[in-house]
Amino acid sequence: SKFMPQPRSDFTSPIYRVRVAVPVYLHDCFDYQVTADQYDQAQIGARVAVSFGRQQLTGIITEKLPLDTPINPAFKLKMITELLDDQALLNAPMLKLLTWSAQYYQFPIGEVMHAALPAILRQGKPYNLLARNWKVTDLEAENKLSKNAIKQREAFKILKLHPKGTLENILNLSGIETTTLKALEKKGFVQCILEAQDFTPEPVQLSQMPLTANDEQKKAIHSILKAHNKYQAFLLDGLTGSGKTEVYLQIMHKVLEQGKQVLVLVPEIGLTPQTISRFQSRFHCNIALLHSGLNDTKRLQAWQYAQTGKASIILGTRSAIYTPIANLGLIILDEEHDLSFKQQEGFRYHARDVALYRGYLENCPVVLGSATPSIECYHLADQNKLTRLELNQRAGNAVMPKMHLIDLKIAKKQHGISEQLISEIKKRLEKKEQVLIFLNRRGYAPVVLCESCAWQANCPHCDAHFTLHMKPYSHLHCHHCGTINRVPDACPQCNQKNLKPIGLGTAKLEEGLNELFPDFPVLRVDRDSTSKVGSWQKIYDQIQKSEPTILLGTQMLAKGHHFPYVTLVAILDIDGGLLSVDFRAPERTAQLITQVSGRSGRGDKKGDVYLQTLRPDHPMLNLLLEKDYRAFAKQTLSDRQLALLPPCRYAILIRCESRSQDENQNFLSTMAQQLRQQSEEGLIDIWGPIPAPMERKAGRFQAHMVLLSTHRAKLHFYVQPWWQHLLHIKSSTMKITIDVDPQEFS
């Protein structure tokens, strides 16, 4: 009998298999074997622990393979280690969204899935973390606490009011720190009880009356509400200060009333306490906040609130687009044009485009809002993929500011400011009004130059100047690779002690303004001055008081803020944006000018904008001056159409980085040749390879190659296998990345 053929196991007992997205840098999902019981229990969208090579990883089940799926005998299937959840964490539309994202952005599916999970769940830890509930155990303890233990006394008073206990996160929100609670626990006055979390949603209540919408707002609200329960995308194209937020709040109200959840995305810098409080004061409901500053437990909790339906509003920055939401009824993306919606490294998705696709999958409307919509959105509107709604009036008595150009070629200057502008600033301050000065360059000076021999202080690792900083001590800083050097006493080339800072950074301008206007406070807002937590909030509070003040800062000031007492905005140097080689530079500069200008005259008094430039004849400036941003956008879109640039063609940028430019060029040229051969004649236009605008960065050489096509699906069809192949054959010293719909060519 030992010569009898053994029956193949798959004929007698079926092999149960699941397909798993595993977080590794590979583009496929992997099949694992499970027991019959596990197969019954396994949920698509739930986590599993699996071994992969020598690692233990947390994956997501994407499929339960039907039992009659053929088996490839060449592969020995591994068993999964363990099922981690008995319920799906990601629902069907979410899984579709992630699978689509991985394909569209050419990024490994397992890594993309992880973008949707908070760190604690990625680590394979249990979903049901217990809530910490604090209760008083000794009612008389107040007398036993020392007079100086102010925080503990305060915490105790609040705890005493709620004999059933108070959840730690609620105590934290009202300013009671966990360390204080632990100190009380140590003394035996309070105790912490772990309880199962309750994710039951609560009804939403309006805690503030809506404003009376004006006719344009009403029209916009009406159009959007007509689209409820189905996908339709809107572009709310409303001037700065025209009340876009009021439109958001009123449509949100209707959606929340139906028991649905709303996802609101804002730019990174936009998620300020002011934004949060605007939503909090209108609605009494659970709001889940998702931003980069959360610790792991807080992030898990906010995520769970969204995923279970407990939170009615989910408010977050870019990555919040990948939060699973139980019952999504509306997506709002404010300041749609903002660059922070595009991830610039790793998984390079664009939250705006993902939002549109998500709305489609979840059957809900998507509202994109901006005072300076991207050219992409105008293009989509022309194709009827977006419904454009205009708001043309500023709310209340405010009117749009008047714009003036100052020709720097003929103007006399002090500290980089023309004398005409200095006297206008003085007039405003004396009338007790506020002035905003915009300079998009932090640090003290962008160049250090030897006035004897023209030597310049450059970063040894990049093709870039060092920026001079004076705080906390004087030093040279490369803003591209982070290198810090001391400032030489004498010129390293000619030994003369004749080194001079050239050009103007915000720190130097601050000195100049203090000299020019010694009687008025100067508040500087840039990444250096606001790095401490709460410092931006302090400045913000001061600006909300009606006292004459000079506000000076970088593009942090350009974003949606409401400064009611600012009546003059000065834009000091945007010429760099007029000269840049990036085809999007005029668009970005026009957006910046319009957004910064929009900070002026938002109150009762009329505003003015002064723009200093060496190029007062520049067509973009004149279009903005004589007409407006929309006229500029229209012109730009037709220019792009003629030049066959995005959004009129679809682009994919390949970035290549290695030890030499030759290595980059040779590799990319060969790859370009292959792509030409593999795709249809004339389908893909290939630009480059060319050296990147900054050829050397952090000691490595950078090159670009751009793939352009009018046919998006076909472009992706040919690029995908080509890219996979390219990843396999590149040398190990070479770093190569793909950027689908690139926003920046740097």
State the residues that interact with ligand ADP by CB under 6 A. Answer: 211-214, 217, 238, 240-246, 395-396, 560, 562
Least Å from the CB of residue 654 to Zn ion:
23
Which partner in Zn ion, ligand ADP, none is near 453 (CB below 5 to 8 A by kind)?
Answer: Zn ion
Least Å from the CB of residue 481 to Zn ion:
3
Structure tokens at 431: 């009338």
Among residues 193, 494, 631, 694, the one that binds Zn ion under rule CB under 5 A: 494
Angle between helices 585-597 and 619-626 (to 10 degrees): 30
Nearest to 479 by CA among 517, 529, 453, 442: 442
Among residues 453, 490, 579, 694, the one that binds Zn ion under rule CB under 5 A: 453
Least Å from the CB of residue 266 to ligand ADP:
11
Size of the site for Zn ion (CB under 5 A): 14
> Looking at 206-214, 222-230, 487-495, 718-726, which segment touches Zn ion (CB under 5 A)?
487-495
Among residues 455, 520, 563, 565, the one that binds Zn ion under rule CB under 5 A: 455
Nearest to 249 by CA among 324, 315, 321, 303: 315
Side-chain-facing half-sphere of 500: CA atoms under 13 Å: 9
Of the pair 21, 557, the CB lying nearest ligand ADP is at 557
Which partner in ligand ADP, Zn ion, none is near 214 (CB below 5 to 8 A by kind)?
Answer: ligand ADP
Which partner in Zn ion, ligand ADP, none is near 736 (CB below 5 to 8 A by kind)?
Answer: none
Rg (CA), the chain: 29
Is there binding between residue 674 and Zn ion (CB under 5 A)?
A: no
Structure tokens at 594: 């319009």
Q: How far apart are CA 131 and CA 486, in angstroms?
A: 51
Q: Are 706 and 652 in contact (CB under 8 A)?
A: yes
Is there binding between residue 484 and Zn ion (CB under 5 A)?
A: no
Which partner in Zn ion, ligand ADP, none is near 396 (CB below 5 to 8 A by kind)?
Answer: ligand ADP
**Nearest residue to ligand ADP, by Cβ distance, number only:** 243
Q: Are 520 and 509 in contact (CB under 8 A)?
A: no
The mark string for 397-436 relative to Zn ion (x by CB under 5 A, - otherwise) is: ----------------------------------------
Among residues 47, 310, 477, 480, the one that binds Zn ion under rule CB under 5 A: 480
Which partner in ligand ADP, Zn ion, none is near 237 (CB below 5 to 8 A by kind)?
Answer: none
Nearest to 688 by CA among 716, 710, 656, 711: 656
Contacts 24+ apart (CB under 8 A), 668-673: 668/703, 668/705, 671/705, 671/722, 671/726, 672/705
Least Å from the CB of residue 560 to ligand ADP:
6
Least Å from the CB of residue 343 to Zn ion:
23
Is there binding between residue 356 and Zn ion (CB under 5 A)?
A: no
Q: How far is CA 577 from the centre of its chain?
A: 22
> Looking at 146-154, 213-221, 470-478, 504-512, which segment touches Zn ion (CB under 5 A)?
470-478
Is there binding between residue 450 and Zn ion (CB under 5 A)?
A: yes
Instruction: Give Cβ neighbours of residue 518 (< 8 Å, ≥ 6 apart).
Output: none
Nearest to 581 by CA among 645, 671, 503, 506: 645
Nearest to 357 by CA among 96, 116, 92: 96
Which partner in Zn ion, ligand ADP, none is near 481 (CB below 5 to 8 A by kind)?
Answer: Zn ion
Q: Are 63 and 332 in contact (CB under 8 A)?
A: no
Please report which helix (H) or strand (E) contains residue 665, including its range.
helix 661-678
Q: What is the amino acid identity at position 67?
A: L
Q: How far apart are CA 245 and CA 237, in angstroms?
A: 12
Among residues 254, 461, 606, 711, the one that binds Zn ion under rule CB under 5 A: 461
Q: What is the amino acid identity at position 24?
A: V
Binding interface with Zn ion (CB under 5 A): 450, 452-453, 455, 459, 461-462, 478, 480-481, 483, 491, 493-494
